[in-house]
């Protein structure tokens, strides 16, 4: 029997993913785009509600405080998303709240100067002002690294091989937000997971007016059905005598958002009062800003692939990081309670719907702003149990992780060097943050526990992030281990074309600024 030809047993590497009906600069009809934008808004609610709920409970705020924080986070998230899609990387990425900031924020909450305040409301306000001040100062890190092009220079040390663990762990590193959360209310979490996979994958051929309705709108359809099912269980008294934790995760009336939300409320800068500044708090927050920068870099790389675009050049990546720094500055000025980063779940939704249109994300930003002002309506959607979102995350985080793995096609995975770097970076990227999490859970403080609180926050924040650990390990090994003679194995001949704006003709199509602004900000 004749031996098979190489092209018959392998698939050639492809710059852009195929099978996308709408890529970054092509748009569905306005009706479909609005529906898809609303779907992205619904998905963004998970993090927008979860983070304020956690923080307000720790600070001792009221339900009214929680509602205002949710509204503010959504409002500023909408503004940041518009800025990023118009003037930043121009990739279809939703900018939302980041869990990376929780370590320094919790440290601020437990600061002795704040815990000694007797009045709960005053303590809440003073804590929010301290968080605001730290965010305002720390935002300068991304602003400087972005607009000075320093991050673009650093990105020249990245290769496809080095980026694989970073991008993949942007998804894999969030595994604790997936099934562990689903398990808190399996009676609605498991049906949601099954229904979402069935609609988006097994029934995706179902069409109405030549639109694959179930694939394109699997998220909003499955959430609507399971939300109604969860409400029936709540109304029928199924959770009446269940433990408090079960009721909190399963009931649809436990968020207390609708009753507390005002009909109309416009978030405004310094709404909690004038920010207070503390050097220790600011240094600790800078670690979270660096982590956000690295996680967003992985998010942008994944979004470019899921929008069927080319990898963003160094100039564009720096531009996006600069605008993200402006976004964290806005977080501090408005008082969102946390910093911002690329929403990983929304990046994953681009792949599931196979719609990478920039316009859809800009419409979702409009929904974020609109419903944050109309408090009652926004609170209605925000009352969806988090377990439902966690079930969706099991799929969407996995999609983002697999996008990172797709970069392996540009490398030589028959090289023992490449196998070593990839395996070690993946393992340490998962294992080190897990050690930091377990240590913190058992000891109520991180492994770094010195008298210098800012140093503790810096170390504990950096090494609790899977993508950050993966970047440190992978990029160091990739640029020190036999790097001179392995450029082709690392995928550098393919990657080099996308380092500069003019290296590939498609970059102008995908990343040129609107309103002819490139005249004033010429690409590098």
Q: What is the pLDDT of residue 524?
A: 60
Q: What is the pLDDT of residues 219-232, one digit of tens each?
A: 999 999 999 998 89
Element (H, E) at 482: none
The string of DSSP letters for 399-441 reads: HHHHHHHHGGGGS-TT-HHHHHHHHHHHHHHHHHHHHHHHHHH
- If one compares 94 and 239, the residue with the highest pLDDT of the two is 94
Confidence band (pLDDT; 50, 70, 90) for 405? very high
Confidence band (pLDDT; 50, 70, 90) for 2? low
Mention every residue, 6+ apart, whose C-beta is less than 8 A from residue 82. Answer: 362, 365
User: Residue 50 in contact with residue 243, Cβ under 8 Å?
Assistant: no
Residue 3 has pLDDT above 70, yes or no: no
* Of the listed ranges 139-153, 272-286, 478-492, the one predicted with least confidence: 478-492
Coil, helix or strand for 341?
A: strand
Coil, helix or strand for 211?
A: strand
Q: What is the mean pLDDT of residues 475-486?
A: 88
Query: The whole model's pTM is what?
Result: 0.93
How many CB atoms are closer than 10 A to CB 16? 17
The share of the chain scoring above pLDDT 70, in percent, equals 96
Q: Give dist(CA 177, CA 429) in Å, integer.
A: 17
Confidence band (pLDDT; 50, 70, 90) for 207? confident
Q: What is the pLDDT of residues 336-365, one digit of tens each?
A: 999 999 999 999 999 999 999 999 999 999
Q: What is the pLDDT of residue 164?
A: 95
The share of the chain scoring above pLDDT 90, in percent, equals 61
Q: What is the pLDDT of residue 168?
A: 96
Mean pLDDT, rounded, of the chain: 90
Q: What is the pLDDT of residue 87?
A: 93
Q: What is the pLDDT of residue 423?
A: 96
Q: What is the pLDDT of residue 376?
A: 77
Show me where the domains of the chain are located.
30-406
Q: What is the pLDDT of residue 31?
A: 93
* Of the listed ranges 105-114, 304-313, 493-502, the one predicted with least confidence: 493-502
Mention every residue, 6+ apart, whose C-beta is less than 8 A from residue 478. Answer: 159, 161, 162, 421, 490
Residue 109 has pLDDT above 90, yes or no: yes
Q: Give dist(CA 156, CA 331) in Å, integer.
A: 30
Q: Give dist(CA 17, CA 304) in Å, integer.
A: 10
Q: What is the pLDDT of residue 512?
A: 85
158 sits in the region (left: phi over 0; alpha: psi -120 to 50; else beta) called beta
What are phi and psi for residue 341, nearest 5 degrees?
A: -160, 175
User: Residue 171 in contact with residue 398, Cβ under 8 Å?
Assistant: yes
Residue 519 has pLDDT above 70, yes or no: no
User: Residue 168 in contact with residue 404, Cβ under 8 Å?
Assistant: yes
Give the start-end residues of each E strand in 275-357.
Answer: 340-342
């Amino acid at each position: 029997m004749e031996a098979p030809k190489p092209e018959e047993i392998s698939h050639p590497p492809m710059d852009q993913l195929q099978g996308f009906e709408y890529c970054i600069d092509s748009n569905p009809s306005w009706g479909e785009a609005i529906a898809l934008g609303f779907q992205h808004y619904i998905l963004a609610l998970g993090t927008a509600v979860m983070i304020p709920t956690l923080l307000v409970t720790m600070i001792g705020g009221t339900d009214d405080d929680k509602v205002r924080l949710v509204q503010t986070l959504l409002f500023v998230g909408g503004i940041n998303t518009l800025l990023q899609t118009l003037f930043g990387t121009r990739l279809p990425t939703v900018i939302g709240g980041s869990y990376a900031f929780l370590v320094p924020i919790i440290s601020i909450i437990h600061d002795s100067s704040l815990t000694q305040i007797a009045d709960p409301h005053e303590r809440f306000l003073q804590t929010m002002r301290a968080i605001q001040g730290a965010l305002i100062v720390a935002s300068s890190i991304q602003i400087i690294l972005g607009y000075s092009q320093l991050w673009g220079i650093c990105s020249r040390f990245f290769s496809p091989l080095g980026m694989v663990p970073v991008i993949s762990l942007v998804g894999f590193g969030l595994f604790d937000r997936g099934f562990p959360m689903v398990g808190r209310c399996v009676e609605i979490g498991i049906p949601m997971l099954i229904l979402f996979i069935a609609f988006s994958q097994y029934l995706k051929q179902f069409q109405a007016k030549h639109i694959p309705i179930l694939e394109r709108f699997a998220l909003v359809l499955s959430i609507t059905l399971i939300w109604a099912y969860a409400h029936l269980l709540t109304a029928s008294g199924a959770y009446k005598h269940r433990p408090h934790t079960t009721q909190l995760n399963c009931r649809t009336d436990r968020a207390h958002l609708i009753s507390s939300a005002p009909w109309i409320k416009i978030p405004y800068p310094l709404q909690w009062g004038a920010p207070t500044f503390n050097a220790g708090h600011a240094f600790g927050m800078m670690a979270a800003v660096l982590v956000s920068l690295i996680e967003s870099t992985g998010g942008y790389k994944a979004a470019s692939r899921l929008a069927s675009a080319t990898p963003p050049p160094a100039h564009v990546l720096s531009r996006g990081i600069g605008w993200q720094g402006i976004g964290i500055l806005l977080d501090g000025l408005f008082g969102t309670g946390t910093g911002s980063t690329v929403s990983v779940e929304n990046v994953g939704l681009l792949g599931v719907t196979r719609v990478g249109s920039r316009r859809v994300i800009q419409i979702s930003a409009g929904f974020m702003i609109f419903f944050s002002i109309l408090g009652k309506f926004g609170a209605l959607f925000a009352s969806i149990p988090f377990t439902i979102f966690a079930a969706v995350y099991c799929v969407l985080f996995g999609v983002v992780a697999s996008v990172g793995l797709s970069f392996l096609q540009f490398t030589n995975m028959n090289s023992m060097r490449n196998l070593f770097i990839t395996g070690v970076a993946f393992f340490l990227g998962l294992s080190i943050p897990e050690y930091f999490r377990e240590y913190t859970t058992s000891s109520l403080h991180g492994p770094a526990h010195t008298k210098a609180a800012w140093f503790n926050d810096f170390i504990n924040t950096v090494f609790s992030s899977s993508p950050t650990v993966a970047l440190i390990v992978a990029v160091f090994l990739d640029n020190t281990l036999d790097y001179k003679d392995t450029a082709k194995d690392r995928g550098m001949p393919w990657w080099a074309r996308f380092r500069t704006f003019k290296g590939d003709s498609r970059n102008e199509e995908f990343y040129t600024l609107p309103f002819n602004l490139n005249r004033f900000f010429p690409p590098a």
